[in-house]
Structure 1
Amino acid sequence: MANDTALAPPDATHPAERTALYRCYDADEELLYVGVSKDPEARWEQHRDKPWWRDVSMRVVEWFDDRASAERAERKAIQTKGPRYNVHHNQRPADPAVVEALAAPKRSHRTLADLYPDGISDAQARRLVTLLRLPERVAEREALR
């Protein structure tokens, strides 16, 4: 799934005091979300039902000695980097499509608008075309047998 980079893992003698700041990026290295948690793995499990979670291809973790320090770093990262899906502390105006996607009821399928509310890059378009043509290519190979 995602590449994970952890810096300075928690000290086993003081696990309750240490807090992680984590950053989630997509395949194009766009910052999607910044958060804090004493247990990033458990927090990521909670994010799995978010519309943006499938876009996460890399996570970077940085550990702090206390939650207050991690929260200050989180606020600064959100305010300076403007991750697409953070709402609190984010200085950039909320994209109505993102707000709608985040508020949408869970459903069994997702639309391209859910996946790419701000449009898609050329690289993303090429990947989509490749994926959409995959069943066609499999059928062609089967016919050649």
Structure 2
Amino acid sequence: MPPQAIQGPMPNPGIAAKGSTETAVYWLFSEADKLLYVGISRNPMARWAEHAQTSWWAQVSRFAVKWYPTRRAALRVELRTIHDDTPAYNVLGTPRSEMGIAMAAFFQSARSAEKGTRRPWDA
């Protein structure tokens, strides 16, 4: 799904069914299409309500959501996006966190085995 402009209330991307392992990856973009944040949730609207309390939320003008069959699959996409695209407001998995240093080494070796420039939100 291409980034969707937010006008009025945010469109609801849905929630995972009870008992399901489905997890959404969501990407939040500025008006200039700068990636501000990437996250995962089984209920993106509830998570966005938490983000709405941050100082950067007013910059969000577009979003993309893609559902994955498991939390592990979604987490892998989220961490890869954090490493490759350095969203402005993510902390976990970036050089601003200890985990980010370890992730950088992992994704550097994994990237050498993969080729391609397509981003998950371009699907």
Cross-structure match for 1:72:
76
Percent pairwise identity = 33
Cross-structure match for 1:127:
none
Q: CA deviation at 1:66?
A: 0.5
Cross-structure match for 1:31:
35
Aligned length: 91
Query: Higher helix proportion, which one?
Result: 1
1:11–1:67 distance in 2 versus 1, CA, 3 Å: closer
Query: Mind listing any 5+ residue stretches in structure 1 that lack a counterpart?
Result: 95-145
Counterpart residue identity of residue 76, structure 1: R
> Whole-Å Cα distance in 1 between the matches of residues 16 and 87 of structure 2?
29
The answer to whether the Cα contact below 8 Å between 1:33 and 1:85 also exists between their aligned partners in 2 is: yes
The answer to whether the Cα contact below 8 Å between 1:32 and 1:85 also exists between their aligned partners in 2 is: yes
Please, what TM-score do these two structures have when normalized by structure 1?
A: 0.55
Query: Mind listing any 5+ residue stretches in structure 2 that lack a counterpart?
Result: 98-123
Q: How does 1:17-96 map to 2 (within 5 A)?
A: 17-91=21-95
The answer to whether the Cα contact below 8 Å between 2:23 and 2:69 also exists between their aligned partners in 1 is: yes
- CA RMSD for the aligned pairs? 2.7
Residues 73-112 of structure 1 deviation map (CA, whole Å, 9 limit, x = unaligned): 0000000000000001124x69xxxxxxxxxxxxxxxxxx
Please, what TM-score do these two structures have when normalized by structure 2?
A: 0.64
Q: CA deviation at 1:17?
A: 1.1
> Whole-Å Cα distance in 2 between the matches of residues 40 and 20 of structure 1?
7
Structure number, greater radius of gyration: 1
